[in-house]
Amino acid sequence: MKISKASAILLPTILASSLLWAITYQSSPNEAKQVFVGLKIRSGEISATVDFKPDVLNLRSKGRWISVYVELPEDFNVVDIDVSSMTVNDTISAELSPTEIGDYDNDTIPDLMVKLERLLVSQFILSKGIMYGNVTLTMTGELYDGTIFEGIDIIRARMPGDVNVDGRVDGKDIAMATRAFATYPEHPRWNCLTDENEDNRIDGKDIASIARNIGKTYT
Ligand SMILES: [Ca+2]
Ligand SMILES: [Ca+2]
Ligand SMILES: [Ca+2]
């Protein structure tokens, strides 16, 4: 069989990438994962930058939506993303509307914003037995030309009252919210973790919510 020019170039690249991954993996599994994400070698698959908001998800919050911002590598355009193909952890589909193209992080790279139903994400996390801590969410999707993209983000999940995300509600949580009392985003003492009711203000309502949950442990 004749080897085409393209495979003559691609094959050594794949081998080199795999070797690099294997070497790095032995030294540090976590770093290797990141390197590996940057070295997508399946043809037609590209790495996207994704950012899920909020960064901290109260799993029992009444908030309706989670926003996800997707950026694609140079030479690809977020306009070409087929929103109906976008799913998180192969389970949760992105809402078809609203969507918005902008540059929310002001890095001059256009991003596509899509929404996820928050309840579905919370239920998914809880179904994995996770009540607090870091959760990795993977967004995959396709461009209209069939190119597949994938990107990951890590958010923090927590339960009501557990603002310091240690799995229990106690005086430490009250103390943390007290330190941020009477603040709002941009304030030097602002701490988004302590905003129980997500109204961008730390006040008596947040303290009361923590107090109502005092003594609870989440495992
Ligand atoms: Ca951007
Ligand atoms: Ca706590
Ligand atoms: Ca609040």
The predicted pLDDT at position 219 comes to 86
Residue type, 83: V
Q: Please name which ligand lies nearest the alpha carbon of 70.
A: 1
Chain-centroid distance, C-alpha 102 = 18
Q: Please name which ligand lies nearest the alpha carbon of 71.
A: 1
Calculate how far, in angstroms, residue 166's C-alpha sits from the geometric centre of ligand 3: 20
Where is 112: in which H helix or E strand?
Answer: strand 111-117
Calculate how far, in angstroms, residue 132's C-alpha sits from the geometric centre of ligand 1: 29
Q: Please name which ligand lies nearest the alpha carbon of 113.
A: 1
Calculate how far, in angstroms, residue 153's C-alpha sits from the geometric centre of ligand 2: 23
How confident is the prediction along the chain (219 residues), in pLDDT tens digits per residue? Answer: 444 554 554 555 555 555 445 544 455 544 444 444 444 445 569 999 999 999 999 999 888 999 999 999 999 999 999 999 999 999 999 999 999 999 999 999 999 999 999 999 999 999 999 999 999 999 999 999 999 999 999 999 999 999 999 999 999 999 999 999 999 999 999 999 999 998 999 999 999 999 999 999 998
Q: Which of 33, 48, 52, 34 is nearest to 155 (CA)?
A: 52
Calculate how far, in angstroms, residue 36's C-alpha sits from the geometric centre of ligand 3: 39
Contact 86, 94 (CB under 8 A): yes
The predicted pLDDT at position 34 comes to 43
Calculate how far, in angstroms, residue 119's C-alpha sits from the geometric centre of ligand 3: 20
Residues pairing with 185 in the sheet? none
Residues pairing with 153 in the sheet? 137
Calculate how far, in angstroms, residue 189's C-alpha sits from the geometric centre of ligand 2: 19
